[in-house]
Amino acid sequence: MDIKKLPSRTTIVMENFQLHFGMLVFAVAMIWKATVVETKDGGKEFIAENMPWDADIANNDNLEIEFNGRMSGDSVPSCTATVEGVNGGGSQSQNTEHTPTPTHPSIGGTQIQLVTSNIGGSATKYDYAKALELSILFYNAQRSGRLPANNSIPWRGDSAVNDSDDGHDLSGGWYDAGDHVKFNLPMAMSTHILLWGFIKFQDAYKQAGQTNMMCDMIKWPLDYFLKCWIPDAQSYYVQVGDGGADHSYWGRPENMNMNRPAFKVTASNPGSDVAGDTASAFAAGYIVFKTICGDVPYANKLLEASKSIYEFAKNHQGIYSQSVPQAATFYGSTGFKDELSLAAAWLYKATDEERYLNDAKQFHEAGIPWALSWDDKKIAAILLLYEITQDNSYRNDVMTFVRSYKPGGGVNYTPCGLAFRDQWGANRYAANAAFIAVMAAAEGIEQSDFVTWALTQINYILGDNKYHISYEIGFGSKYPEHPHHRGSSCPITTTECNAGDPGPNPNLLKGALVGGPDNQDNYDDRRGDYVKNEVACDYNAGFQGALAGLVHFAITHDLPAAPASKCG
């Protein structure tokens, strides 16, 4: 609905903004600038409240209210919209009858445009497509370097544009978390996971209208990795910034002027884990830019980089955080065979060359992983090997992993139902496991059961929790206001800010997933509590992929009914 061209300053109070459909609609799940407060007539009528900041509309201003309804069947229902309070009184309505063509009738000096469309699919408790859209914005808020003309984050500007080493340009990439260090291990892991979900659930991104945004967002770290990898010198830059010095600075990246040293791995100081992870990102990126984003020359560039950095990782084996001790305190690696197995599997998918599949099997490590994380990619390699080979041994390992996260499987649960693997980024681990569950379901492994379990975790994060809040910032009407994030917490009008300021962050960090509650569901929205309120690139990666998976299963009518919340 587009209410526009108001003749004078007018107050629109939508206390009874109503949508009445001619047939059953399971949910008006995607609605922007309004909140559904009541459902009537068995799912035919929805009453929504307008957001208070849109109540006062000036002359010639636009007020757009977009909504999507989910239903069964292929017919487009009629819809009547009733707006209470236009120009201070009365109710007016506009009907559409099975037509995608906008209409513009005049109502009390106000014009209304209403379009109904049928997206089909299963009903959803939460708007997973909107949550996915917001997650993309979080990654754009993490951008380092000179920002593009289409920068989607108004409070961000150019920063760290002079990152370099001996004249070699290292600008770009993503800041890791609430700080301003660029760590390639978690950045590459995040990039690969995001690309994997994009490949598997292309329909979800299309449905959410986010395909182009995703192509734009994911190219940013890939461009940076291409700068970091120097094949002729057999060297790969893996970190920019000193963690200790960086963590002593609380301010916007735009105002940062400290020394930012760069660290690299080489043939004599190897880093097979970080190089292998980057090879996976490059190979997955090749598939995405060739088949989805439509940039074949760039895709070919990524494939060549994937091949060369994989050979570097394979031929010069070692743990990167032993070669670069400056990374060990923050992202110390425990091994590299999982990253090599995963990289080889991705290169097989990209090239169909048998040697890569042989390598993937050779580097594969037996055993059920503890988690999918920035350090541990075993389950990702196992699932990709199953996708390639359809070997039941890999299938069984995937099933065992997901079942280990389900109730009774060994992972502890909070009273309200979050799989609590670890206090550091509790939401992250649950979301990563949910991502594996929906990816496995897409491969035909325990589809209904695994998707149902994934729903319990993602729904917990989005509101089925003790406080009925969304742990994704900007989703819904209640979410954390004090994330541990320097750029978000510092006003753009000053060069100084205080981490201890009790007020909400002045810049909304849309889409960021905060660390989450403790093992009793307790959560404190306090900036100084970086355990519960930290945000990071790897926190959002599996979460975004899981969201895409749920949208996919909704589109295909395969999304199970939402499990009941354990917290009412």
Tokens 């109540």 label which residue?
Answer: 55
- Single out the residue of 40, 123, 124 nearest to residue 82, CA to CA: 40
Residue 121's pLDDT band, with cuts at 50, 70 and 90, is confident
Question: Residue range 152-169: average pLDDT?
Answer: 97
Percentage of residues in the chain having pLDDT higher than 70? 80
Q: What is the pLDDT of residue 67?
A: 59
Active site residue 525: yes
- Single out the residue of 233, 234, 262 nearest to residue 324, CA to CA: 262
For the chain, what is the mean pLDDT?
A: 87
Q: Determine which one of 277, 359, 534, 538 is catalytic.
A: 534
Does the global pTM surpass 0.85? Answer: no
186 pLDDT more than 90: yes
Q: What is the pLDDT of residue 283?
A: 98
Residue 100's pLDDT band, with cuts at 50, 70 and 90, is very low
245 pLDDT more than 50: yes
Residue 432 has a CB neighbour count (10 Å cut-off) of 29
User: Distance between alpha carbon 481 and the CA centroid of its chain, in Å?
Assistant: 19
* pLDDT tens digits, one per residue of 6-20: 333 333 343 455 666
Q: What is the pLDDT of residue 487?
A: 97
Higher pLDDT, 103 or 512: 512
Question: Residue range 95-119: average pLDDT?
Answer: 35
Question: Residue range 251-261: average pLDDT?
Answer: 96
Instruction: Return the CATH fold of 128-555.
Output: Glycosyltransferase (1.50.10)
* Backbone phi, psi, residue 350, to 5°: -80, -30
Residue 351 has a CB neighbour count (10 Å cut-off) of 16
407 pLDDT more than 70: yes
Question: Residue range 374-382: average pLDDT?
Answer: 98
From the number of C-beta atoms within 10 Å of its C-beta (0-12, 13-18, 19+), residue 73 rates as exposed
* pLDDT tens digits, one per residue of 441-500: 999 999 999 999 999 999 999 999 999 999 999 999 999 999 999 999 999 998 889 989
Q: Determine which one of 61, 525, 529, 558 is catalytic.
A: 525
Question: Would you kindly state where each structural domain of the chain is located, as residue ranges?
Answer: 2-113, 128-555
